[in-house]
């Protein structure tokens, strides 16, 4: 499968060059870009501003507007929506629309089919890794959601779905550039968050190549415990990760978010809270506490609300900015750590 055959993954200059190669003026490429990204054209047939002959040449060469199609939609009792999206080679990836108190939605985006990191607390990690998603397949999750659910305004994108974004950094960076383009969705850098399990080279590249928010899936305050829960920490130890984060470029008033999945009896004691405060004391940050969401086959249980509140209080008492993420969509396996798209 060639990424270049999916037009939603091409920047305006790439589409201009394509139009020129096919005998059209470059501005036809810009029109194509705006129709797909701003007008949400679902197929080449919908791009009626282009000459029919040009659209036919594109189709004859195997080009299509998108690289994904919606194959399944599940809606939770709390109005969370989980989409199953099929690739042209028969894989299914998942993306979730999460309601916010404002009435708008945050969309959880996937960057890979499956995941190779095998974190103990994540259902996606049980699948193994199949392949990286292309920029088109990443962008399409958002474009198709906007077209399918016009009454669900998506204001924020979080790369916290299936896969490790920074093991697919080329395509993720390109997708962010497409989503931020002024002739496309024109999303503010403050509205896009990339979450990583701690891929140090990818963190450095992200900070150099694109402007967005950074979140780190931490889940343990010590190297020993983190390596037990997250095998990636053996390759990129905690001290190397923290050094890279201290160098990450942060604009004024921005913070790095640390995600901390609370696992009862594993990482939620007062000692763990104290160690966490000590570890993060020199980084401008906030902590997002996530009560573990059980899934079939998991060895962990869900922590009690009392234990979660106690951990939050311990952090707050040390002036650590912290919040609790009350997960949505657990009844349709759409909550954090529960995504597990399968081959269709």
Given a cut of 60, whether residue 316 has pLDDT beyond it is yes
Given a cut of 60, whether residue 344 has pLDDT beyond it is no
Tokens of 160: 């916290």
At 196-230, the pLDDT tens digits run 999 999 999 999 999 999 999 999 999 999 999 99
C-alpha 187/C-alpha 193 separation (Å) is 11
Given a cut of 60, whether residue 3 has pLDDT beyond it is no
% of the chain exceeding 70 in pLDDT: 94
Given a cut of 50, whether residue 285 has pLDDT beyond it is yes
Q: Classify the C-alpha dihedral 181-183-184-186 as positive or negative.
A: positive
Given a cut of 50, whether residue 1 has pLDDT beyond it is no
Residue 327 or residue 27, greater confidence: 27
Residue 127: per-residue pLDDT:
82
Given a cut of 70, whether residue 268 has pLDDT beyond it is yes
Mean pLDDT on 24-51:
98
Mean pLDDT on 147-166:
96
Would you call 240 a catalytic residue per the annotation? Answer: no
Q: Which residue of the set 94, 164, 171, 259 is catalytic?
A: 94
Q: Classify the C-alpha dihedral 169-113-297-327 as positive or negative.
A: positive
Given a cut of 80, whether residue 343 has pLDDT beyond it is no
Q: How far is CA 302 from CA 253, 261, 262, 287, 328, in A?
A: 33, 10, 8, 19, 14
C-alpha 332/C-alpha 203 separation (Å) is 32
Given a cut of 90, whether residue 341 has pLDDT beyond it is no
Strand ranges, E, within 176-255: 192-196, 213-217
Question: Would you tell me how many other CB atoms lie within 10 Å of the CB of residue 105?
Answer: 21
Q: For tokens 């160098």, what's the residue? A: 247
Would you call 108 a catalytic residue per the annotation? Answer: no
Given a cut of 70, whether residue 2 has pLDDT beyond it is no
pTM equals 0.93
At 67-99, the pLDDT tens digits run 999 999 999 898 999 999 999 999 999 999 999
Q: Which residue of the set 115, 119, 212, 336 is catalytic?
A: 336
| Contact assessment for residue 49 and residue 31, using Cβ atoms and an 8 Å cutoff | yes
At 225-245, the pLDDT tens digits run 999 999 999 999 999 999 999
Mean pLDDT on 38-58:
97
C-alpha 168/C-alpha 133 separation (Å) is 8
In the chain the domains, ranked by start, together with CATH numbers, are 3-60 (1.10.150.530), 68-332 (3.20.20.70)
Q: How far is CA 327 from CA 78, 324, 333, in A?
A: 10, 9, 11
Beta bridge partners of 159: 194
Given a cut of 90, whether residue 157 has pLDDT beyond it is yes
């Amino acid at each position: 499968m060639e990424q270049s055959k999916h037009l939603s993954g091409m920047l305006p200059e790439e589409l201009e060059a394509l139009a020129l190669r096919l005998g059209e003026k470059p501005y036809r490429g810009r029109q194509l870009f705006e129709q797909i990204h701003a007008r949400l054209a679902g197929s080449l047939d919908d791009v009626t501003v282009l000459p029919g002959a040009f659209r036919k040449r594109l189709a004859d060469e195997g080009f299509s507007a998108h690289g994904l199609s919606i194959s399944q939609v599940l809606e939770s009792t709390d109005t969370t929506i989980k989409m199953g999206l099929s690739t042209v080679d028969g894989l299914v990836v998942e993306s979730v629309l999460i309601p916010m108190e404002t009435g708008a939605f945050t969309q959880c985006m996937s960057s890979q089919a499956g995941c190779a990191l095998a974190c103990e607390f994540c259902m996606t990690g049980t699948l193994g890794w199949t392949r990286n998603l292309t920029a088109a397949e990443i962008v399409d999750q958002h474009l198709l959601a906007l077209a399918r659910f016009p009454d669900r305004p998506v204001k924020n994108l979080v790369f916290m779905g299936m896969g490790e974004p920074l093991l697919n950094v080329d395509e993720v960076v390109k997708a962010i550039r497409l989503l931020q383009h002024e002739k496309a969705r024109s999303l503010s850098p403050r509205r896009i968050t990339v979450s990583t399990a701690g891929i140090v080279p990818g963190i450095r590249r992200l900070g150099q190549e694109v402007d967005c928010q950074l979140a780190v899936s931490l889940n343990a305050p010590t190297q020993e415990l983190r390596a037990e829960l997250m095998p990636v920490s053996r390759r990129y130890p905690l001290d190397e990760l923290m050094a890279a984060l201290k160098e990450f470029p942060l604009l004024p008033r921005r913070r790095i978010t640390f995600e901390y999945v609370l696992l009862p009896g594993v990482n939620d004691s007062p000692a763990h809270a104290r160690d966490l405060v000590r570890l993060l004391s020199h980084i401008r940050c906030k902590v997002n506490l996530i009560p573990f969401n059980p899934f079939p086959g998991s060895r962990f249980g869900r922590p009690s609300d009392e234990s979660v509140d106690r951990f939050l209080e311990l952090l707050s008492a040390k002036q650590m900015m912290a919040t609790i993420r009350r997960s949505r969509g657990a009844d349709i396996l759409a909550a954090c750590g529960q995504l597990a798209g399968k081959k269709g």
